[in-house]
Structure formats: C-alpha cells, structure tokens
Amino acid sequence: MLFEVWAPDAGSAALRLAGELRPMEPDPERPGWWTAEAEAGDGDRYGFALDGGPVRPDPRSRRQPDGPDGESAVVDHDAYAWRSEWAGRELPGAVLYELHIGTFTDEGTFDAAAARLGHLAELGVTHVSLMPVCPFPGVHGWGYEGVSLWAVHEPYGGPEGLKRFVDTAHGLGLAVVLDVVHNHLGPSGNYLPAFGPYFTETHHTPWGAAVNLDAPGSDEVRAYLLGSALAWLRDYRLDGLRLDAVHALADTRALTYLEELSAAADALSAELGRPLPLIAESDLCDPRTTTPRGEGGLGLHAQWNDDFHHCLHTALTGESQGYYADFAAAPLAGLAKTMTSAFFHNGTYSSFRGRTHGRPVDVARSAAHRFVGYAQTHDQIGNRALGDRLAASLSPGLLACAAALVLTGPFTPMLFMGEEWGARTPWQFFTDHTDPELAEAVRTGRRREFGAHGWAEEDIPDPQDPATRARSCLDWDELHREPHARLYAWYRELIALRRTLPDLRDPDLASVKAAYDDGARWLAVRRGDLRIAVNLDAKPAAIPLGNGRHRGGPGRVLAAWLPVDPPGPDGMLHLPPESCVVLADD
C-alpha cells in the first residue's frame, strides 16, 4: 500500500505504522510529497512524523478511531457491500430535509438516524441534507469545527456507519447531501499547519487566517479540498454537497476554487451517471453563484436564499432586531419581491450592513429551483440566544402558513428536522471541547455576545453542558400528539401536492405573480393555474383574487388549513384568521 503526504518544508518524513517508524522518500515527480510503500490493511493505525517531530494524523485520513488527536486508520472502501442499486435524484422537484445526526435521535448515531428514515420517506421529502460529519473534539457538537476533511466522526459510527445510513436512505428512495466546510477548520485537532501552507495570512476571516486558495502553495491546498469533496461523492455514494459559507472563501485567482469544484463535480456526475448537485450557502445575494460556468458564473447548482427566510420570519414574528431590520418595515412586500425575483437585496440599501447589497436576478434565465427556500435552518434557530424554534412562539395556524409558502413557493423547499410536526424542543448551540481553555473561551464568548443584546448571562445555555445537547434532541413522541399530528398531516398534504401538480414545480420564476397587503397581513401568490393565499392576521381577511382564467368559475379548494369557501362571483376570498389555502382554477 502506498502512503503519501504533502509536506513541502520538511527535511525528512517518516511513516509510523503498527508502532514502527519507517523512513519516507521524496517523490521525484511531485515536489513537496513524501511516499512509502508498506503492507497494511483495513483498520491498521498509522501517522506521519516530520523532521523527527511528533507523530501526527494523516491530513487525508479516512478514519480517526480515537478522535482528531489520535492516529489515523486505513479504510478499505471496497470492502463495504452496498445493498441498494441507486441512480440518484435530480435537484429540480426536490424537497430537502436538514438533519443533524447528533440530535435527530437521543442516541445520536448514523444507525439510530437510519432507523427513522422511513418517517422521511412517508413525509415525502426527496433529499436528506446532513450537517457536517467530519471528526471534531469530543462526542457532541454542530460539526462546523471539524478537522480531517476526508474522515467521519467516530462517535456517529465512523465510515461504516455513514455508508449504512446512505445505503438505507437509497433503499427508501432518499438522496443524501452532505454539508462540507471548506472555509475554515476547527482550532482543536487541526494539524494541517504542521504539514504545509494550508492557511495564509494574506486574508483573514472570522475564524482567523484564511484557507490558502490563492497564495503560494495553494495549488496543493485546492487539490486537497477538491479531493475531499469528490471522495465523499464517490466513496460514500453521496448525492451532492452543501458548501458552507462560500462567501468566506477568500480567493483572488482568475479561475476560482468554486469553479474548479463545480467542473470536477460535473465530470464525476457524468462518469457515475447520477446527479451530484452542489448547493452553496452564500450571503452575497449574487446570482452568479449559480449561473452556469459557460455563462460567466461559478456553476454551482443551487444556493440558500436567506432573504426569503428573513422576510418570512419577520412577517410571522414581527421581529426587527439585527439583520431582520432590513425586512421588518414591509415584510409581506418583501416576501412578494423574493418570491418573484429571488433576492430582496438586489442592489438595494441594507441598513444592517450600512451599504447597498446584492445583484439583480435575471428571472427569465434563472431557474427557480436554483434557490433554496426555508422557514427554519440550523443557523436561524441555533444562533438565537435560546435556540428557540418558530413553534415556541407561533400558533399552529401561522406554522401552517409558513409551510404553505415554503412548500408551494417557487424555490426548492427545505425543512429543518422536526419542523414538519412543529417540534417545540429547542436547537441550541452545544460543544464538547476537550481543551479547557477553548471550552471556556466559547462559553464566555457566547454569553458576552448575547449579553450585549440585553440577555442575562445566566439565561444563555452553557454550550459545554451535556444538558444543552440533550435539550436539543428531537422528542419523537410529540409527533403523535396534537397539535403536532395535525401539522404533520398538513406538511404531508402540501408535499404531495408539490409532487403531483406540475405548476408547483415550474422553474419559471418570471411566471410567479404575487399580491399583498402589509396592513391586513395577507399574501396571495399565483403559480400557473394555482393560487396560494395566506392570512397571517388574527382577523379574517378579504382577499381579491379575481375570477380565475377559465369560464368554469373562480376556483376550487385543493388544500386548506381551516374550512374555507372558494372565491365567490366577485373573486373575493374570505380567509379565516391565521390560515392558508391552495386553490386551483376551474
């Protein structure tokens, strides 16, 4: 077996395998690389020592059995016997479901989560979007401080556990997308700087020195990240990647890393014969993120749309602090704008940023499925002081309205785990740092951050307290109680409509029409022969919908949260308080 490591500044390198140090030789074909041939099999422990220093894990480690600080282990990916034949699922028409392995169940493992996948198949979602699974310190955490970008967190079940999870999902017709973090690595257990210039002081990010995408040595760093991304898709048969915070990838090269990654993913997709979409998280409001490479864009396949979320959140809750201030003055007008032109900030002034922000979307050329729409995400819940979900403060009727706008809207819809039944368990920020100084810094920083916004320090959950993670685990018993069971049935009904009605999957963003009244708190959206109306007010609403296109009448009710009659001859829809309806033209 060939062992290899990139260490361009090292004067010598050694492989430690099965407790024995063996010298490595410079690779004459690849400057900076060291290699050694040795007999090894699945599970054998190894590491690398540079210049007689300590043994450290392989930067390209496929497994860290003892966590980020331990030795690496060989993984034989060919040894797993895949059970399910799988051709993949396209992103157009998809319904995503964001899931955190560590809190989806009390057990917090791949196998326990896999046992619940039948629920998602019954719900009607098509893609499970896994939060990061790379190794991180301790047992429990969000996963965004992962290291060893080719390996799988051992407490979740390691490489074999992830394969069993994906295999089970595919057997149920569910695709699996994985969240990967290329903009930074966790501070604890991150040994990359000891091997080479993986980071650069040329740029700085909220996490410190930037990942080196454009400074000297960046060719190998980009190859490292790209190789990791393709390994997830190939070795674990994953169906796509969600790319965390791509706006934090500092990259001044003419050919950007994201374009390289997009081209490589498309090439692998063609080779494997199944779709491999890349979904970006970006706060730039820039349509070029998902514009095809041949048209001057980065070529990613979709991007999260926080503007839609922020408008929806302010409309539902009335909150106006922080970045919600940009959307709070007229949230239903903002919803109408985002549902017809994708971004709220398309060159408009952002009071939160103190400058103009965003770029217009050419709706005639931008397919609606390239934007992901949602009412809740791990970020939008977990980055609140108490990690409270919408269900903690909203009525079932308002939750139903949020579901209607997400699941019948033009964008690719995404749910956050438990949302489908209005889970009232919080989802809080939790860590399990093994470094006491880092643990205290995180705890203090969290309390200082929210203390500046008026929260008492003692009210902020301690991220290191095991109870914080325990509170964040889903309570599956809620699903069988009211009002949760009724809300779950509503989600199933809406997803079934999306699956069966072509108008709800129409990618033509230019064809979406919207009317609203911010004072009366109603919004009506037309999608082909369908009309969706929501009344967020505590009073009944009279909504002028017109008489429909066809001579048969003003419409019929396809789905309604509360009993409602179709519009009368005058085209007026009388919608009960905090309720919603989906209508079809006769």
Residues classed as catalytic: 244, 281
Ordered alpha helix ranges (H), 81-181 = 101-104, 110-114, 117-123, 158-171
Per this entry, what is the length of the chain? 586
Ordered alpha helix ranges (H), 343-421 = 378-382, 396-408
Calpha distance 512→408 (Å, rounded): 11
> DSSP letters along 282-328, please?
-SS--GGGTS-GGGTS---SEEE-HHHHHHHHHHHH---SGGGGGTS
Helix (H) or strand (E) holding 55: strand 55-56
What is the sign of the dihedral through the CA atoms of 283, 285, 290 and 293?
negative
Structure tokens at 40: 């090894």
- Whether residue 567 is preceded by a cis peptide bond, meaning omega within 30 degrees of 0, is no
Residues sharing a CB contact under 8 Å with residue 444, sequence separation 6 or more, in sequence order: none
Q: Would you say 493 and 167 are in contact if contact means Cβ atoms under 8 Å apart?
A: no
Calpha distance 276→299 (Å, rounded): 12
> DSSP letters along 226-249, please?
HHHHHHHHHHS----EEETTGGG-
Calpha distance 16→370 (Å, rounded): 47
